[in-house]
Amino acid sequence: MNNFPDTITSKLPNTGTSIFAVMTQMAREHDAINLSQGFPDFEVSPVLIELVAKYMREGYNQYAPMPGVPALREVIAEKTRSLYGAEYNPNTEITVTPGATQAIYAAISAFVRDEDEVILFEPAYDSYVPAIRMNGGVPISSKLKAPTFAIDWEEVRHLLNSRTKMIIINSPHNPTGSILGPDDMAALEKLVSNTGIIVLSDEVYEHIIFEGKQHESVCRYPGLAERSLVTCSFGKTFHATGWKTGYCIGPANLMKEFRRVHQFMVFCSNAPVQHALAEFLQDPSNYEGLGPFYQTKRDFFLNAVKKSRFKAIPAGGTYFQLLDYSGISDQDEMGFAEWLTKEHKVAGVPTSSFYHKTTNNQLLRFCFAKSEETLQKAADILCRI
Ligand code: PMP
Ligand code: GLN
């Protein structure tokens, strides 16, 4: 007999199960090609796997230091210096985390209090709003408009007020594949200078950027870097989303507060994986070719769906491609995604799940981090619709 009251008041009453879990489960049940959740279907480098195994065998199996293995923090500092010309002290300004999701949650928890406003751009990665709400904050969204999904900085200026605590940016952007340019960074810097606003810059796709464009990390802009926490993910960079290892960098005063929370959320991240990454990252060629690698996949997918009735604007970065189905159906995005998965056996993600209010852009997001064989099979189906 369970006497626990059956009226539980949820802290997240409007939050359902993450769309990535929902679509992946649906794809499984209906034996559909899963281009919904973002993860590669090809292998991690055997060299990196061997390194993890080596460190496990050598006994690196106990807790890592709370901020991360020193050798990994050193090499992250070196990578950030050489890519973005920015200096971060490995002892006080870099923390290794169990993935970017946890880094984002810890960053928001460390700074957002009751009634604080956090500006974000919708469509927005699905973990931001629940993290803000769980900490009593108020998400304030500015819509990115199709087809460019650029930020309207004039609108942002109107949203700013004395309660604005944080602005969350994400470039390259999930789910639209849009990227921020130098003008965006200048506009942001102008808006936040002389304020106490913290920028949370989600840069998990920093290496997945196309047409030889430069990734505009906040680290390149001292006026932004001094107020920014940057979140990164080795899951994206090394095709190892299941290892859940990433990091957060930021100036010492912000990082001190970040660590106060991080230590009690998880204490530390997986030790042998950190040791292996520290060694693997010594060779920048292990991540430098990622942009061209994924651009080839994007182009393969775009070419394979060219004759379909779906319309595409090529993604500028990430491993996601939006496809517009307005020439095929009037259904809302969730309805169309379900129909596509159940009837045609290809799963994508409705972009409506990246908005807090009902939205219908008639766009689905497809992950092209897949083998050419998988992409071709999916595209053949899409071309028959
Ligand atoms: N931010 C964005 C924009 C993402 O797409 C993802 C994962 N796909 C994350 C954060 C989370 O990264 P991780 O898997 O390292 O937690
Ligand atoms: N970030 C991945 C995506 O956008 C999925 C992450 C997750 O499953 N939570 O698809």
Helices 333-344 and 19-29: crossing angle, nearest 10°? Answer: 20
Is pLDDT of 2 > 80? no
Any ligand 2 atom below 6 A from CB of 18 = yes
Q: Give the side-chain half-sphere CA count within 13 A for 149.
A: 25
How many angstroms separate the CA atoms of 41 and 177, rounded? 20
- Residue 1, pLDDT > 70, answer no
* CA-to-CA dists, residue 347 to 51, 136, 316, angstroms: 34, 34, 22
What topology does CATH give the domain 19-44+288-383? Aspartate Aminotransferase, domain 1 (3.90.1150)
Which numbered atom of ligand 1 lies nearest the CA of 318?
Answer: 5
What confidence tens digit (pLDDT) does each residue in 222-257 have?
999 999 999 999 999 999 999 999 999 999 999 999
Q: What is the pLDDT of residues 292-312, one digit of tens each?
A: 999 999 999 999 999 999 999
> Which atom of ligand 2 has the smallest separation from the CA of 36?
10
The confidence band for 16, taking pLDDT boundaries of 50, 70 and 90, is confident
Q: How far apart are CA 319 and CA 355, in angstroms?
A: 20
Residue 95 has pLDDT above 90, yes or no: yes
Q: Is the CB of residue 37 below 6 angstroms from any atom belonging to ligand 2? A: yes
Q: What is the mean pLDDT of residues 182-211?
A: 98
Would the CB of 97 count as within 6 Å of ligand 1? no
C-alpha 157 to ligand 2 mean position (Å): 30
| DSSP-assigned states of every residue in 140-198 | EEEEPBTTTTB--HHHHHHH--TTEEEEEEESSPTTT-----HHHHHHHHHHHTTS-PE
pLDDT at 5 over 90: no
CATH, range 46-286:
3.40.640.10
Residues in the chain: 385
Q: Is the pTM of this model over 0.85?
A: yes
Domain boundaries, the chain: 19-44+288-383, 46-286
Average pLDDT of every residue of the chain:
96
Query: Ligand 1, from 36, 200, 236: best to mutate by most atoms within 8 Å of Cβ?
Result: 236
